[in-house]
Amino acid sequence: MNYYIITKEVFESLSNGSIVFAHRSQDTNRWMVTTDDVIADVLVTFNNTSELSVYSFDNHTDWTGDGEGIEEWEIEETEYLNGL
């Protein structure tokens, strides 16, 4: 699995079937995604779910807006639904 922060434009170019988890930033310009695909044009790459979760907590105002981040289990168990 690959863990990324990507731009809205890169996200829109991905095949929906390749996205496992996706979460849009508060400003709607970036996406946090997990995918089996290798994406070349990324803003940030993470090694695992734990690093992605920690990043979301460290930057919670960008990602959740509620003073919290995204828990590991949310990333691992939330299935991306086509059309969101």
Q: Cα(14)–Cα(54) distance, rounded to whole angstroms?
A: 25
pTM for this predicted structure: 0.90
Name the strand (E) or helix (H) holding 12.
helix 8-13
Spell out the domain ranges in the chain. Answer: 2-77
pLDDT tens by residue, the chain, 84 residues: 999 999 999 999 998 888 999 999 999 999 999 999 999 999 999 999 999 999 999 999 999 988 899 999 999 998 886 554
